[in-house]
A and B are shown apart, each in its own frame.
Chain A
Amino acid sequence: MQGSSQRAFGVAGGGARALARSVLTRIGVFFGVSLLVFCVMHAAPGDPSLSVGVDIGDVGSVASDGARARFRAEHLLDASLVRQYLHYLGPFDLSPRGHAWFGGTDDHRWGGLLCFDFGHEFRRPTVSVSSELARRLAVTVPLTAIAILLAYALAVPLGVACARRRGSAFDRGTSTLLLACFSVPAYWAALLLMLVFGARGLDWLPMLGLHDKDAAEFGAIASTLDLARHALLPVVVMTYGALAYIARQTRAAMIEALESDYVRAARARGLPEARVVWRHAFSNALFPLLTLAGSLLPALVGGSVLVESIFELPGVGRYAYEGFLQRDYNVVMATTLVSAMMTLAGVALSDALYAWFDPRVRRA
């Protein structure tokens, strides 16, 4: 009794150590990513101070010397990269308004990534990147989540069905269609759908944003329906590519599983076909899909620049893209770091799912 208890504690202690090691590694990777992105971005040509306070994009003049000098001072752009990175990292604010220890006025002592502070936008100095990012995530996450769930919900049965009827007309037809879907660029598909369902075509669906121009006057039901109508095309565009990919993956994994010895053995034992397919074959074909699920997590917060641009959705993809174009270091850092964080979380999630579904991993 005592021995088994000690073993249990030993196992538990080992698990905690492994967990701690894994968490620490991921934290290290996260800060490594932040450093690398920071360096690459600052090495990229293009001076963000030149368009401060004037029009941006293809309409814009050059900011005055005063505006540029202020901007460069506030964002430490003339300081060494090390100081800039430490300022970004925190927890001390090293800017002129930062901690008195570092020569600032002490107005803002703390800040930076370690304080969960992504800073403020360059173009709108009063808007914090965190709050804007949260607003953008509120658009991107639900849409992408629906798209991913929909893709899985449709792709898995489709892939299994194709694998079961391998070589049949259904399989060949579906596979061709999936290949076509996989090959069609989202941008082109979106424009095509816009032409077909928009005002120039059937005039069935709205193309602009997520709400009707009169949405403020709608009741709860009308509002939900309006949202669904607006979200339909973006979700379709975001779904079909992933659907095709997942279905093809499922099909391939299922074909391999269905040809394996254990499936043959299961059939030989006279098990019902449904049980053979779903319990024996599918549970083994599941693992590539779990890996895929982990890798889709960053897409959840990454958004799609193209889809968001075409349908005018104020999502994270466009935010990151605009940040790149404007050389808004804070926006770029925030969006890439959230993406990196989700990548790491995705890896953790697939590990957890592996452990959940595969007893061998659990025991290991």
Chain B
Amino acid sequence: MSIRTLALGAAALAVVVGGLLLIVPRGPASPQTPIAPGAPGAPVTAASASTATSLAPGARVSPPTQAPTSTRPPERPAEGVASQAPELVPTDIDFFHPAHQPGPDGKRPALPTPAYGGRVIVRTDLMPPSLNYALDGAAVTRRILYEVHETLAVADFATGELAPDLAASWDVEDSLFLKRTVSPGAADETGAAGETRAADQTGAAGALERLVGVVTCDGEHYELRARDPHAPGAGANATATPIRVPVADVQSLERGTVITFHLRRDVHWQDGEPFDASDVAFSFSIYSNPRVRCDNKRSNYDKVRSCEVLDPYTVRFTLDQAQFKALGNLADLFLLPAHRYDLSDPDHARFDPEYVASKRAANPSWTPTADEQGDYVNEHPNNRTPIGLGPYRVTQWNKDFLEAERWDGYFAPEQGGWFDTIRWRLIENDNTANEALLAGEIDFNERLRADEYFGEFTQSKAFTDRCYKGYLYADAYGFVAWNLARKPFADVRVRQALGRLFDYQGVRTNYYRDQAIQVTGVQPVSSPAYDWSLEPLTFDPQRADELLTEAGWYDRDGDGLRDKDGEAFEFEITINTGSKTSEVLMARFQEELAKQGIRAHITANEWSLFQERCVRRDFDAAARGWVPPPEVDPDSLFHSRWAKPEVGGSNFCGFADPEVDRLIEAGQREIDDAERYAIWRELGRRIYAAQPYVFLFNPARKFGLNKSIRGFQALRFDPNYQLRRWYFPAGTPGTRATRAR
């Protein structure tokens, strides 16, 4: 019996091992190189710069068309109106709704009156691990938090400008660092009560005296007007008399390095406790606690030297150096209720008496350590059932769905949503999600493929009876990254040639059905930093041939393949398994390359391996994508400090150019938006000319939505739509005219 047991055990093992081997992807194996001990530990800013995505799924591409003309979207403006972003998304409410289409007179019918009540069920293809955005920075976490939480300030969805939210206003002031020879107070030559604060010894400016205020310069003197931090909205010259400092006495001026937020006084957490500056200060403090698992976000705040609570509704952050994203990052700070998370908070014992009692039982004089605080944040039950500040409160989270109900204590009830309940239903399988949409199990699915959007699915009676379709543009885009450390791709002429061998127009027309924008840079198309004046590359085999020949790549041995130094032009394109779009686009690319005597092999690797190969620079070409934030810091993507494989980062290409480095550093320190956008555009042109990526498309995101829901509005900026704006029209069963239930 034991022999048979062993035999069967071995058989079971064989099945297990076989299963494992099956999931090991085909293609060249990647060495398991551990991170080199002692490798530079500087944080990668990829998470802050951009979130990667593979290309969106889609239909098969039709046979190629020979139309190497411009691939700009029809909305793109003519030359001369450079940087003027076109209207990419129709932002009218209910633009796609069948009951809101223009009549014979060209006018759209009036929108129905909204009613309170009801429930909307939207599909999510991924459940976040938690809703603590400091710990889990996934896009899906952010998507849900848009409805259940708030931040100090938020980018206006129409203009992209930062708009007040929990902070009623904020002041941005500059720092003047005086030379050491200037004695404290000497600068205060007019005798005005300017605020002076010494920077600490470890600061970039050493122990220099720092003056804080709004600084202007007349060439000979800096004039500094300090603000009264307790008087929000009083204007920049709150101090009666400015402080004048001779230019010669100033070591450096750091613009925008003191940011003071004035909080609203009428905001409460969803457990009824008031929201105040101590919550902000605590939420910031976790980033300096190494025990907290917020490593992906740490680089957003590592330039912020201090956070001070000036009064219960005023909080001030101080930086040592100007940093263009400082205000945006602080405005976006994920807020935690200090009374629940902060072990030192006087109210904490009320909310978790058991924890405190257990600690005190072991040690009556217990005071929390940083490690205990860190673990407490990491493991807090409210990470999954957050106590937020938004209009919806998470009430249920099970293996199928996450549900939030409207919370009546929201500080701006008129903007607090119409539905009683929002449910995010987890459906990973796209086919099942479509079936669920038709069956009314969900109301919204925003992952329709082009073939479904234009094909039988949306034309079926089951669909048209219940739903309608539409699209919007988010900021995700795809690209092919070249590994510049590998021979053919080190030559810029080769990259420029390869960039001309992608049939942009054909793919855009046949695959995306014209619903895609050919991008030319890393900045999102919704951003003013995006350069619309940059002419995108076109499919130009002739020019590509000239460039390749000039670079020494032509067919010497008559085997049909270009060669140089005895090596044929042959390489591998790595794609992510399961990305239909990558499969189709790269197959088309492969065809065109073959016509030019270049042999490309396509290898699909599942995500973990794909990531590993990119990070280890173990690839020739990689087809992938980014979901960028509203404004990308190109540092981790293209700065030479991230070019070496051992430092990690997202500069997969190994791109290094001193001028690009200079522009990136200049942009990072420029807090004037217009100036910085100009720098980013100059940088973009340089990068596009160097072609470390073949920049591809930002495809439209196509959705199906239940017809009985009104108020859909595509927003230009992330999150691109807001569930709290949707509603059931008055008269819908189960709805009511008043907010109260």
Query: Interface of A with B (CB < 8 Å)?
Result: 18, 21-22, 25-26, 29-30, 32-33, 36-37, 40-41, 43-48, 50-70, 72, 77-78, 123-127, 135, 191, 194, 198-200, 203, 206-209, 211, 213, 298, 309-312, 314, 318, 324-327, 332, 336, 339-340, 343-344, 347, 351
Contacts and interface: CB of A to CB of B under 8 A. Distances in A.
A58 B607 contact: yes
Interface string B422-463: 010111110110011011110000000000000000001010
B9 A61 contact: no
Interface stretch (B292-300, B329-337, B487-495, B586-594): B292-300
A25 B140 CA distance: 47
A70 B293 contact: yes
Interface in B56-101: none
B138 interface: yes
Nearest to B54: A58
B439 A207 contact: yes
B689 interface: no
B579 interface: yes
Contact of B41 (A30, A69, A72, A191): A69
A61 B47 contact: yes
Contact of A40 (B20, B50, B608): B20
B429 A53 contact: no
Given A62-B648, A63-B47, A46 B431 contact: no
Contact of A51 (B1, B42, B378, B611): B611
A347 B24 contact: no
A57 B576 CA distance: 9
Nearest to B27: A45
B204 interface: no
A95 to B, nearest CB: 14
B509 interface: no
Given A29-B9, A309-B429, A324-B23, A62 B44 contact: yes
A339 B607 CA distance: 25
22 contacts: A25-B6, A29-B9, A44-B20, A50-B615, A53-B47, A59-B54, A59-B627, A60-B51, A61-B47, A62-B614, A62-B650, A65-B42, A65-B44, A65-B295, A66-B43, A72-B35, A200-B435, A203-B439, A208-B439, A213-B423, A347-B8, A347-B9
A181 B648 CA distance: 51
Contact of A45 (B1, B13, B24, B379): B24
A312 B296 CA distance: 31
Contacts of B16: 33, 36-37, 336, 339-340
A293 to B, nearest CB: 13
Interface of B (DSSP majority class): mixed
B20 A46 contact: no
Nearest to B611: A50
Contact of B12 (A21, A33, A198, A309): A33
Contacts of B139: 55, 59
Given A54-B296, A203-B439, A37 B17 contact: yes
B226 interface: no
B456 to A, nearest CB: 9
A298 B435 contact: no
Contacts of A58: 53-54, 576, 578-579, 607
B385 interface: no
Interface in B270-306: 293, 295-296, 298-299
Nearest to B426: A312
B12 A298 contact: yes
A333 to B, nearest CB: 11
Nearest to A66: B295
B438 A206 contact: no
Contact of A62 (B5, B35, B52, B432): B52
Interface residues of B, number: 90
Nearest to A311: B432
A44 B20 CA distance: 8
Contacts of A25: 2, 5-6
Q: Of residues B399, B428, B648, which shows the largest number of chain A Cβ atoms within 10 Å of its Cβ?
A: B399
A54 B34 contact: no
Contact of A60 (B23, B37, B428, B607): B607
B295 A53 contact: yes
Contact of B46 (A64, A123, A208): A64
Nearest to A77: B34
B741 interface: no
Given A54-B137, A61-B51, A70-B293, 16 more contacts: A18-B1, A32-B9, A37-B13, A45-B32, A51-B607, A53-B136, A57-B126, A61-B52, A61-B626, A62-B44, A62-B649, A63-B44, A67-B296, A69-B295, A312-B429, A340-B9
Contact of A347 (B5, B40, B296, B440): B5
Interface string B146-186: 00000000000000000000000000000000000000000
B29 interface: yes
Given A68-B35, A69-B41, A78-B34, A47 B611 contact: yes
B399 A135 contact: yes
Contacts of B400: 209, 211, 312, 314
Nearest to A318: B428
Contacts of A312: 400, 426-429, 432
Nearest to A361: B1
B13 A33 contact: yes
Q: Of residues B12, B647, B649, which shows the largest number of chain A Cβ atoms within 10 Å of its Cβ?
A: B12
A325 B606 contact: yes
Contacts of B42: 65
Contacts of A123: 129
A45 B9 contact: no
B126 A36 contact: no
Given A62-B52, A199-B435, A207-B435, A57 B607 contact: yes
Contacts of A77: 34
Contact of A46 (B9, B44, B576, B612): B612
B383 interface: yes
A30 B9 CA distance: 8
B135 interface: yes
B4 interface: yes
Interface string B635-653: 0000000000001111000
A312 B4 CA distance: 38
Contact of B298 (A66, A72, A209): A66
Interface in B182-198: none
Contact of B126 (A45, A55, A125, A194): A55
Interface string B601-621: 000001111011011000000
B130 interface: yes
Contacts of B426: 312
Contact of B17 (A40, A65, A135, A327): A40
A135 to B, nearest CB: 6
B9 A344 contact: yes
Given A25-B2, A36-B13, A66-B41, A61 B650 contact: yes
Nearest to A321: B23
A126 B54 CA distance: 28
Given A63-B47, A64-B47, A66-B43, A53 B137 contact: yes
Contacts of A48: 608
Contact of A65 (B41, B135, B576, B626): B41
Given A62-B46, A64-B299, A199 B126 contact: no
Nearest to A135: B399
A59 B52 CA distance: 6
A340 B383 CA distance: 35
Contacts of A51: 607-608, 611
A207 B607 contact: no
A77 to B, nearest CB: 7
B629 to A, nearest CB: 11
Contacts of B126: 55-57, 59
Nearest to B141: A55
Contacts of A325: 23, 606-608
B481 interface: no
A19 to B, nearest CB: 10
